[in-house]
A = this chain, B = another copy of it.
Amino acid sequence: MLAFMNAEAWEKTLSTATATYWSRSRNTLWVKGETSGNVQRVREIRIDCDRDTVLLKVEQVGGAACHTGHRSCFYQRVGPDGALTVVGTPVFDPREVYKK
């Protein structure tokens, strides 16, 4: 998955070892998994060559990072003709996890 961090999210991620992002739509700190329980325990942190991108290696509680229940948010393959194919099956049912 890809998400945004501001300085506050970065510091909270470091101090709690739990992946914390900044929701630009809700304009608030976002502890990933606080609703579903599927938090991300940070095992290793890398930054890139120009130091503006963070890579978190995590233990994904619940086995899925995506709100759709897929392990990864990148579950749609783009074919040569631009058509999308879903790859893999969801690990959990979002209707159960989010009680919606």
Residues of chain A whose beta carbon lies under 8 Å from any beta carbon of chain B: 1-2, 14, 44-51, 53, 55, 66-68, 70, 73-78, 80, 82, 84, 87
Cβ-neighbour of A46 out of B50, B55, B68, B76 (below 8 A)? B76
Give the complex CA separation of A63 and B45 in angstroms. 23
CB–CB B73/A48 < 8 A: yes
Instruction: List the number of copies, as a whole number.
Output: 2
The answer, among B47, B68, B80, for a CB contact under 8 Å with A49, is B68
Chain B minimum-CB-distance residue to A74: B46
Q: What residues of chain B lie closer than 8 Å to A70, measured between beta carbons?
A: 49
Q: Determine the distance from Cα of A44 to Cα of B77 in the docked complex, in whole angstroms.
A: 7
> For the complex, what is the distance from the CA of A53 to the CA of B74, rounded to whole Å?
9
